[in-house]
Amino acid sequence: MDTRERHLRLLTETIEAVNSTLDLQEVMGLVATKVAMALVADACFVYLYDERADELVLRATHGTSIDEMSRRPRMRPGEGITGSAAAARAPVMLRSQAHLDPRFKNFPNLPEDEYESILAVPILTRDGTLEGALNVRTREPRAFSDDEVDLLLAIAAQVAQSIEHAKLYSEAQRRVHELEALARISEAVSESLYLEESLEAIVKTTMDALDAAGAALVLDDGRIAWPEGVASTHAIRQPLRWRGRQIGELVADRNRPFTDPDRELLASIATHAAVALEHGRAVLRGVLAQEIHHRVKNNLQTVASLLRLQARSADAIDPREALEHSVNRILAIAAVHELLTERRDEDVELADLIDRLRAMLVQGVGGGKDVSAELEPVSLPSARATALALVFSELLQNALEHGGDRVRVELARRDGEVVLAIADDGPGVGAAPAGTGLSIVQALVRDELRGTLDLSSTGGTRVEVVFPG
């Protein structure tokens, strides 16, 4: 009766210990320690059954530190002495020289051959489902009694229930963790109006949710957006899909393998990432469309104003010449848009713009004249660049039509201001000639560029436009 009472007390204490926590790894550790103490054994090894891999995986030990092992031991049911107990759903006991048994499975990093005896039992639920297996070992030969076998089976039965509860708790915690991660992503995507901020939040949340060492979004054009952390041993890639087509990939790296739940979580994050990416692109497209419409409207209004000014001119102008001038003005505006499209920037490089307009006008009205240019790098916002393009076109066209054989164009910075000069070696003029073209230039320089226009006639004609840069 004393032995039965002691075993009952040990069973009660063990059950209380393993039921004191819902953390699965902590449950396994308590089982190993309490079982070894209950049966006065030198070691105890607790294996958990991985149904997907059909393997028993060593999860906790008493007597040998699992943290020191280079690779966690695994065996299929039926392999080894403990695997045989799991497969047979029955205890296996060897009194001595257990390591000489044909069923013995050796693990290089698990020194089981130093133990003489072994008692292994399966961990089964009430309906017979295999949850794992455990064994106790002693260094001296020992025959475990029937009462001790029954005690270990009783503990194993209770451990099976604790494992089930711990798995449910772990799954619930994982789901909570996933929902929190997805909520953070949804919040970041919905609150941010900027695509880059959304992508940054997705990558950082991915690293946190998967405990990853690195993560990145790879867009469909191959560009890597917001790489965080460092590359590691194991990588996982999840396609970003939007309406049946792939628009990128979400990549994560870490030092240990990714599990199926990890892949499921990454798939959920990838769904949010795809929505965020398309949402951000749609916003950018909308903003860009509004900006384009605004620019086109303003430039069409400029063209209309120029045509009205031409129509109201009191000068007798050849209609064909007036039409050609108007065409050149429109082409000057088009050149600004072309540069904006190529650069995808808000600023225009004036040297590129002037060079394009020079080539266009020389081909159209140059008549074989020698036109040289010395252009320093200067950039202007698009609205002011449009005004300068019109000014330059009017002045160069006038020099080509009425100046000498050689024309020189200069663009430079001087004392914090931009200087555009056009000079020719023609007969020169004594005063500023009247005309629609010059009226346009004067109005644009004064109202749009906030600058000054100077015309001189010494050994030819030189027109200089100076404005704040």
The rounded distance, in Å, linking the Cα atoms of 80 and 92 is: 11
The arrangement of strands across the sheet holding 214-219 comes to 224-229, 214-219, 245-254, 234-242
Which residue has better confidence, 78 or 426? 78
Mean of pLDDT values over 273-281: 70
DSSP class per residue in 215-227: EEEEETTSPEEEE
- Residue 404, pLDDT above cutoff 90: no
CB 19 within 8 A of CB 36: no
Instruction: Report pLDDT for 421.
Output: 92
**Which of 85-99, 111-125, 167-181 has the least mean pLDDT?**
167-181
Instruction: Report pLDDT for 430.
Output: 44
- Residue 182, pLDDT above cutoff 70: no
Q: Give me the numbers of helices (H) and strands (E) for the chain, helices first please.
A: 10, 17
The rounded distance, in Å, linking the Cα atoms of 429 and 458 is: 9
Which residue pairs, CB below 8 angstroms and at least 24 apart, start in 280-284?
280/194, 280/195, 280/198, 280/199, 281/195, 283/193, 283/195, 284/195
Which residue has better confidence, 303 or 271? 271
The total of other beta-carbon atoms located within 10 Å of residue 305's CB is: 12
pLDDT in tens, 327-356: 666 666 666 656 555 555 567 888 888 888
Question: pLDDT band for position 41 (50/70/90)?
Answer: very high
pLDDT in tens, 413-451: 988 899 999 998 887 654 344 555 677 788 888 888 899
The rounded distance, in Å, linking the Cα atoms of 125 and 432 is: 104
Question: pLDDT band for position 31 (50/70/90)?
Answer: confident
Q: What is the CA radius of gyration of the chain?
A: 42
Question: pLDDT band for position 111 (50/70/90)?
Answer: confident
The rounded distance, in Å, linking the Cα atoms of 102 and 288 is: 75
Mean of pLDDT values over 457-467: 86
Highest mean pLDDT among 126-130, 161-165, 364-368: 126-130
Instruction: Report pLDDT for 77.
Output: 94
Instruction: Report pLDDT for 366.
Output: 56
Query: What percent of the chain clears pLDDT 70, i.e. is strictly above it?
Result: 70
Instruction: Report pLDDT for 1.
Output: 45
CA angle 458, 326, 447 (to 5 degrees): 65
The rounded distance, in Å, linking the Cα atoms of 160 and 153 is: 10
Mean of pLDDT values over 308-313: 60
Question: pLDDT band for position 119 (50/70/90)?
Answer: very high
Mean of pLDDT values over 74-96: 93
- CA dist 128 → 74, 87, 123, 139, 161 (Å): 22, 12, 9, 32, 12
Query: What percent of the chain clears pLDDT 90, i.e. is strictly above it?
Result: 18
Question: pLDDT band for position 380 (50/70/90)?
Answer: confident
Which residue pairs, CB below 8 angstroms and at least 24 apart, start in 444-449?
444/387, 444/390, 444/391, 445/391, 448/383, 448/384, 448/387, 449/384, 449/387, 449/388, 449/391
Domain annotation for the chain: domains and CATH numbers: 2-170 (3.30.450.40), 192-285 (3.30.450.40), 313-468 (3.30.565.10)
Q: What are phi and psi of 366, to 5 degrees?
A: -70, -35
pLDDT in tens, 229-267: 777 788 888 888 887 788 888 888 998 888 888 888 888
3-state helix, strand and coil shares in percent for the chain, rounded to the nearest 5: 50, 25, 25
Instruction: Report pLDDT for 292.
Output: 47
pLDDT in tens, 390-399: 888 888 888 8
Instruction: Report pLDDT for 45.
Output: 92
230: amino acid identity, one letter: V
Which residue has better confidence, 366 or 381? 381
Per the rule left: phi > 0, alpha: psi between -120 and 50, beta: everything else, 435 is left
Mean of pLDDT values over 286-299: 50
**Which of 34-43, 60-69, 101-110 has the least mean pLDDT?**
60-69
Q: Hey, CA dihedral for 358, 363, 365, 368, is it positive or negative?
A: positive
Structure tokens at 278: 């398309």
DSSP class per residue in 249-305: EEEEEESSPPPHHHHHHHHHHHHHHHHHHHHHHHHHHHHHHHHHHHHHHHHHHHHHH
